[in-house]
């Protein structure tokens, strides 16, 4: 089985560098364009199964990448983005620059990260991502050849923790996926191999 693990397209909150978490923010026009470009690049990949986070930005990305293929999109709450509680909507640049804020460690020392009120810990995120892979993907290894999974930046990294068998200290190994970035993973006899990591099929905006 090959897994195509994809991050959703751009949203206005991505553009403004705000933490989205489980806030249900829609794609912007650029995000839809990126998803269409990615769908065109993958049009010859015959997917047997598509899983998506139920959040709008991921589900619409899955729809646009799917294109004309007649495959249902199955949503799973375990693919939602990490919950950031009261910090959702806050400026990432401002929070991460404040060394007195426990959130400061989110990218630099994830093993020291402390969830804000109402938020989710790294451990909880990794547990549900691993559970999705174990109970859904690994159980279906011999049923399907190509599976698309569309989710979110931190959630996809949590899946990679299970795939690469590393701990939370190495959570960001390989860097954060860009919007509509694709990582391709082979699952064979219960073992994972990363074939390609963080591939994009569009030209990046040089003004950013």
Angle between helices 153-164 and 122-132 (to 10 degrees): 70
Longest dimension (CA), the chain: 51
User: Which of 81, 88, 152, 162 is an active site residue?
Assistant: 81
Residue 48 CB neighbour total at 10 angstroms: 15
Query: Nearest Cα to 32, choosing from 176, 202, 187?
Result: 202
Q: What is the DSSP string of 126-153?
A: HHHHHHHIIIIIGGGTTT-SEEEEEE-H
Q: What is the dihedral of CA 191, 196, 198, 199, to 10 degrees?
A: -150
What is d(CA 115, CA 105) in angstroms, rounded to the nearest whole number? 10
Annotated catalytic, 81? Answer: yes
User: Which of 2, 8, 60, 152 is an active site residue?
Assistant: 8
Query: Nearest Cα to 37, choosing from 12, 77, 10?
Result: 10
Give catalytic residue positions: 8, 81
């Amino acid at each position: 089985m090959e897994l195509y693990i994809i991050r959703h397209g751009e949203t206005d909150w991505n553009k403004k560098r705000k933490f989205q978490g489980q806030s249900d923010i829609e794609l912007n026009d650029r995000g839809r364009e990126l998803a269409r470009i990615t769908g065109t690049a993958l049009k010859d990949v015959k997917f047997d199964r598509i899983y998506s986070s139920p959040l709008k930005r991921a589900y619409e990305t899955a729809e646009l990448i799917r294109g004309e293929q007649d495959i249902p999109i199955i949503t799973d709450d375990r693919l939602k983005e990490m919950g950031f509680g009261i910090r959702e909507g806050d400026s990432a640049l401002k929070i991460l620059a404040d060394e007195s804020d426990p959130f400061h460690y989110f990218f630099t020392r994830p093993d020291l990260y402390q969830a804000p009120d109402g938020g989710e810990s790294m451990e909880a995120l990794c547990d549900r991502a691993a559970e999705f892979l174990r109970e859904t993907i690994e159980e279906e290894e011999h049923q399907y050849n190509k599976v698309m999974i569309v989710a979110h930046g931190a959630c996809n990294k949590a899946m990679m923790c299970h795939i690469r068998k590393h701990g939370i200290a190495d959570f960001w190994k390989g860097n954060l996926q860009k919007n509509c970035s694709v990582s391709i993973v082979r699952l064979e006899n219960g073992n994972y191999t990363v074939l390609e990591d963080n591939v994009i099929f569009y030209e990046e905006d040089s003004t950013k």
